[in-house]
């Protein structure tokens, strides 16, 4: 899949490195694990319990590569898909899940989009409707990466 890396002038480029993002990072993770597939995959396969700070650091480094890495951004996305490819199983309710399930993948990225809109509403300058549309399109680009 060919995806376009982010560059200067994109909203993600201008904002992904801000420390303010940490104000909503925790709530984004809570929203993400509310999806049954994401919650089961995290509960059964994540290292966040044994190594919470390392898990956070690896996530932040990966996100920075997606946005600021140029050609390394899509390469990081491919690495993550390979890493997540074997993650799957059956949750406590007997439902099958897989880390690359399209609905779950979309949910994770939509929660990031929603939390970033909330971040700017409460801790910055609220986005106009046009800025929200532009940020949504960039969020789709991020999900493709």
What does pLDDT average to in each consecutive run of 10 residues of the chain (145 residues)? 84 93 91 95 92 89 92 92 96 94 93 95 96 95 89
pLDDT of residue 1: 52
Record: fold of 11-144: Globin-like (1.10.490)
Question: How long a stretch of residues is the chain?
Answer: 145
Whole-Å CA distances, 30 to 17, 131, 144: 21, 25, 22
Whole-model pTM: value is 0.86
């Amino acid at each position: 899949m060919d995806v376009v890396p982010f560059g200067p002038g994109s909203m993600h480029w201008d904002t992904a490195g801000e420390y303010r993002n940490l104000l909503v990072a925790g709530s984004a993770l809570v929203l993400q694990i509310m999806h049954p597939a994401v919650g089961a995959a995290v509960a059964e396969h994540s290292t966040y319990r044994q190594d919470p700070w390392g898990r956070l650091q690896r996530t932040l480094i990966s996100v920075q590569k997606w946005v600021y890495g140029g050609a390394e951004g899509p390469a990081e996305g491919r690495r993550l898909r390979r890493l997540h490819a074997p993650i799957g199983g059956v949750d406590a309710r007997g439902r099958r899940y897989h880390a690359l399930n399209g609905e779950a993948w979309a949910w994770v990225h939509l929660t990031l989009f929603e939390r970033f809109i909330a971040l700017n509403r409460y801790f910055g300058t609220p986005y106009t409707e046009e800025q929200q549309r532009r940020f949504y399109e960039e969020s789709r680009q991020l999900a493709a990466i």
